[in-house]
Structure 1
Amino acid sequence: MTDATPPASVAQSHKHGVFFVFAAGVLWSTVGLGIRLIEEAVVWQILLYRSISLSLFLYIVIRIRSGESPFAQVRRAGFPGVIAGLSLVAAYSGGIYAIQLTSVANAMLLFATAPFMAAVLGWIVLREPVRAATWIAIAAAVGGIAIMVADKSGGVVLRGSLAALGSALGFAVFTVALRWGRTGEMLPAVFLSGLFAIGITVGISAHTGHREAS
């Protein structure tokens, strides 16, 4: 007798994982439309309101699911949780900034490089093996990115493309940080990212006086 998870359970978990990844991609693709509908706001103001609602929502969800304070789970997450939270702030802010400066299609395509970046970071930081097919896909993605950036060398659009790549890198670091911390629970780190973003965006918005939106 062993304590190994039954194959049926593993297959079911894999199906659920594929579904949630697909659903996340579909929902994330709607971000561009929502941001484009906001006429007068800078990235920090959008991120501030988004982070407030995110933190409140996750506080309630974590309380209901675990019956304990989200802050207790954040403390258990430790340093990897802090890295994951900060990387999400970079991912969110970079994503919003990118969509404001470049086309939604261009930004979303560059966001899709996050899994490749995560694979490379996992190979470097965690020493996880990467299949040959994945290296080929990464090389093709890098070639496509180079063509896109070279074709859109205008200052504003180029900044948008770089911000989109920065956002993808943020999501990649988030993924690797969770693996590094040996935890499958990401909600505490996401909750922490909301708190970080609130503090950062309040400071920046107060310093700029919301003048950039006008």
Structure 2
Amino acid sequence: MTDTASPRAALPAVSPREERIGMLLVFLSALMWSFGGTIARFIHVGDSWTVVFWRSLWAVAFLIAFMLWRDGGRGTLKLFRDMGLPGLGVALCFATASTSFVVALAYTTVANILLMQAGVPLLAALLAWVLFRERVSPATWIAIAAVITGVAIMVSESLGGAVSPIGDGLALLIAVMFSVATVITRRFAHVRMVPANCLAALLAGLFAASQASEFAVSGRDMAFLFAFGVLNLGVGLAFFAMGARLVPAAVAALLGTFEPILGPIWVWLVHAEVPSVRTIIGGAVVVTALLVHIGFEFKRQTRPERPGVTGLPSPN
């Protein structure tokens, strides 16, 4: 007789097809998030909290519209009621991470924050294993090590400054919160997390509203803030919420590493900010590791399924 209360039994079983869909959705979330730096370069607003407020507000508007289109009014209300404590946990994690990012930039470098983010797959893998005994394959461990090495190479030129306990502590907090949110989303795969991410954006916006010195922005800036909130944050959160529940937590966090890798590429192409040689070398290491690991996962998933394995409903 199977013990349904055991940590192993609590984890969802998904088919190879559903796992591939999940990987694609998580990658698309990282792709959307990677446009953040490029869009932010177009915004000329003096108070960063004003930017956070409008970005969060537009993200909330998009996510509510998305749920209304997909589930209707009653369905949307039901989603918020049914998300329970897991949804609240994810909301608090993402709200804390997005707010901490803004504050951390005032105390430490983007390089230090990126280096901390490189540890998210490792933290997610350890949390998933300790809490739910979710097995991490040797190939995933190797990919995690390669990603950390590549990001360390990328940011090595910017690590010579004085260490800020506040800034680096907040950067670590961002990584921990994102890891916890990833593990919760995977563990409670039956809970739709789009409303939780909507609540996260709302909480971040409310906090920013309490800190912002002004709310008025130009029409041009508002257009880019719309893109910042809808495309970068809102769509990214929606893709992540739908995809992270279908793949192992370590793999979801690993795919999320595409964000800091693709980000400098878009800034380079759009704003002509040429990355350093170390950034290119480190990025090549990370992308190679991710592509090899993704190829390995797709090869593994093409093997015939074991009899009796059932999957979760499709995220569509």
Structure 1 position 126 matched with structure 2 position 132: yes
- Residue 203 of structure 1 deviates from its aligned partner by 1.9
Distance between the aligned counterparts of 1:136 and 1:119, measured in 2? 12
Distance between the aligned counterparts of 2:17 and 2:83, measured in 1? 27
Picking from 32, 40, 46, the partner of 2:51 is 46
For residues 183-198 of structure 1, the aligned pairs below 5 Å read 183=190, 185-198=192-205
For structure 1, which segment, 149-158 or 190-199, has the greater mean C-alpha deviation from structure 2 after superposition?
149-158
CA contact (8 A) 1:87 1:170 kept: yes
Q: Which amino acid aligns with 2:122?
A: F
| Larger proportion of helix | 1
Aligned-pair Cα RMSD in Å: 3.4
How many residue pairs are counted as aligned between the two chains? 198
Distance between the aligned counterparts of 1:71 and 1:196, measured in 2? 18
Question: Which residue number in structure 1 is paired with residue 185 of structure 2?
Answer: 178
Question: Which residue number in structure 1 is paired with residue 208 of structure 2?
Answer: 201
Q: Which stretches in structure 2 are left out of the alignment for 5+ residues?
A: 1-13, 215-316
Decide whether aligned partners of structure 1 residues 157 and 141 sit closer, same or farther in structure 2, where only a CA change above 3 A counts. Answer: farther
For residues 141-180 of structure 1, the aligned pairs below 5 Å read 152-155=159-162, 163-180=170-187
Structure 1 position 76 matched with structure 2 position 101: no
CA contact (8 A) 1:110 1:145 kept: no
Q: Which amino acid aligns with 1:59?
A: I
CA contact (8 A) 2:118 2:147 kept: no
CA contact (8 A) 1:114 1:169 kept: yes
Picking from 20, 27, 31, the partner of 1:15 is 20
Structure 1 position 55 matched with structure 2 position 60: yes
- Residue 35 of structure 1 deviates from its aligned partner by 2.3
Q: Which stretches in structure 1 are left out of the alignment for 5+ residues?
A: 1-8
Report sequence identity in percent.
32
For structure 1, which segment, 139-148 or 163-172, has the greater mean C-alpha deviation from structure 2 after superposition?
139-148
- Residue 57 of structure 1 deviates from its aligned partner by 1.0
For structure 1, which segment, 33-42 or 183-192, has the greater mean C-alpha deviation from structure 2 after superposition?
33-42
CA contact (8 A) 1:111 1:168 kept: yes
Distance between the aligned counterparts of 2:114 and 2:47, measured in 1? 19
- Residue 108 of structure 1 deviates from its aligned partner by 4.8
Decide whether aligned partners of structure 1 residues 77 and 149 sit closer, same or farther in structure 2, where only a CA change above 3 A counts. Answer: farther
For residues 22-33 of structure 1, the aligned pairs below 5 Å read 22-33=27-38
Distance between the aligned counterparts of 1:37 and 1:117, measured in 2? 34
Distance between the aligned counterparts of 2:44 and 2:163, measured in 1? 18
CA contact (8 A) 1:152 1:158 kept: no
Q: Which amino acid aligns with 2:66?
A: V
Distance between the aligned counterparts of 1:102 and 1:37, measured in 2? 20
For structure 1, which segment, 150-159 or 126-135, has the greater mean C-alpha deviation from structure 2 after superposition?
150-159
Q: Which amino acid aligns with 1:176?
A: V
Q: Scaled by the length of structure 2, what TM-score is found?
A: 0.52
- Residue 10 of structure 1 deviates from its aligned partner by 3.2
